[in-house]
Amino acid sequence: MDLYLARHGATEWSRNGRHTGRTDLPLLPEGEQEARTLAPALAAVGFRSAFVSDLGRARRTAELAGFPDATVTPLLREYDYGEYEGVTTEEIRRERPDWQLFRDGCPGGESPDEVYARAENALRVLISHEGPIVVFSHGHFLRALSVAWTQLGILAAERLALDTGTLSVLRDGDRGRVVQVWNGAVSGF
């Protein structure tokens, strides 16, 4: 079973480092191009199922990548940043110098344990379908999904970087559940 993870294309806030959880910003023109660039690599796989976050930036990415009919689920939404919505990590660390998202969470938003539990729930839904499966979602949530897949604790997600418009592959094979490809440029597929 392979799960292909596609992070949505660039938005204004993703480009300038603002936490973009529930604020539904459109893709920038370059984000739309990133989404279109995913299409040839994904078309070659022969997916049995496709899922997408209910937020517009992920849905638009799925559409431009060739999956306009992907199953929409709020389980794949981005982390709820609460009071840190629209704020950069640099701004947060002026008041909380040792702050880490996946350790400390966000006041008024989701806790790391809540995000991890949602990722586990999403995985139960995803693996109930035949693979390969493609998932269109968001940077921090896809990190949580990946560490839940490998049964690492949520804090491990802090060590993963994930660029917009990239592909990653989670595999369940001979070695068990592994991260086969991470933050892959589409040209590498």
Burial class (CB within 10 angstroms; exposed 0-12, middle 13-18, buried 19+) of 133: buried
What does R_g of the chain's alpha carbons equal in angstroms?
16
78 is catalytic: yes
63 is catalytic: no
Query: What is the spatial distance between Cα 89 and Cα 5, in angstroms, rounded to a whole number?
Result: 24
**Marked catalytic residue, from 32, 78, 85, 110:** 78
Write 39-42 long-range contacts (CB < 8 A, 24+): 39/64, 39/65, 39/66, 40/186, 41/167, 41/186, 41/189, 42/4, 42/6, 42/66, 42/67, 42/134, 42/167
d(CA 147, CA 45): 24
d(CA 142, CA 86): 19
**Of 8, 19, 138, 140, which residue is the catalytic one?**
8
> What does the angle CA 116 – CA 121 – CA 124 come to, to the nearest 5 degrees?
130
Catalytic residues: 8, 78
